[in-house]
Structure 1
């Protein structure tokens, strides 16, 4: 009973690491457009849906189409694939590994506390064997998802976990 009283005294604490004010009940996430010159066709829809899913799985907020208490808008600004490590094979320089880097610009609005609002560029990457080229990465949704999941986690932590 004492633990119950202590936990109810702090209306913001949760066991999933979020720091959401109890007056916040809804969230809206606009389509995160792919404005980078590269990237697979599925990137816009996949990133947007994965972002929504992550918030639905890790908060009790109700997803609304627009004007949520918490609002996310943004776009994918870079999708780069480049050699990460060069190695020599028979005297010829070749990529020992290739790096996929994705950058996403996010505008977060907290309608209940504007001091929590921000606009920020989030970036992350993954390295792949030199034998994998951009076509094989783009045709493998799970390869891209590894990188986007890291970005989504960073967005979540910045917006509702205050990390």
Structure 2
């Protein structure tokens, strides 16, 4: 009977030794202590003031809130850099022709695309350069200005920053 308990204990120990640290953000064990997010320049053809600063801060905030990494201004173990390469509004569906001959958009789409270069100084195989994009659809009768524009940009940035986080740290 003692041999069975010993064998069971040994098998349990062996199975648990293969497990790594896991947390609810899905990052597992990170081989870094610091990160830096360089300013993401707005190189899009259509310039919306302040979206470069807002994106840089959104990415910093997400990483700080979901990891134990320390934000540094230079020399980080993990480095995020890149640029906003596209900011555009496009009509998605057209309305019927009115008696005046006008055709309008029933729905528009705001799209933001960001090119990201990620460098892990401790594990070069994790490095990548990739474009991340997301959009927000809104009625063609509305204008995206003020708080509705800010809400749309925040929704887009929430998705893009989470996608960047997943690609660089969560490996999902």
Uncovered stretches (5+) of structure 1, i.e. residues with no partner: none
Quote the offset at 1:147 in angstroms. 1.0
Give how far 1:131 is off: 1.4
Say whether 1:75 aligns with 2:83: yes
Q: How does 1:2-151 map to 2 (within 5 A)?
A: 6=16, 10-11=20-21, 13-21=22-30, 23-91=31-99, 92-134=102-144, 136=145, 140-151=149-160
Provide Cα deviations, 1:31-59, integer angstroms capped at 9, x if missing partner. 01111121321101110001100000111
How far residue 88 of structure 1 moved from its aligned partner, in angstroms, is 0.9
CA distance in 2: counterparts of 1:107 and 1:155, whole angstroms: 10
Cα distance in 2 for residues equivalent to 1:46 and 1:35: 15
Separation of aligned partners in 1, 2:158 and 2:111? 13
Q: Which runs of 4+ in 1 moved over 6 A?
A: none
Report the CA distance shift for 1:129/1:7 in structure 2 as closer, same or farther (over 3 A).
Answer: farther
Instruction: Give the paired residue count.
Output: 158
TM-score, with structure 2 as normaliser:
0.83
Partner residue of 2:169 out of 155, 160, 163:
160
* 1:74-100 deviations in Å (ceiling 9; x for gaps): 000000101011121525321001000
Question: Which has the larger Rg?
Answer: 2
**Which blocks of at least 5 consecutive residues in structure 2 are unaligned?**
1-11
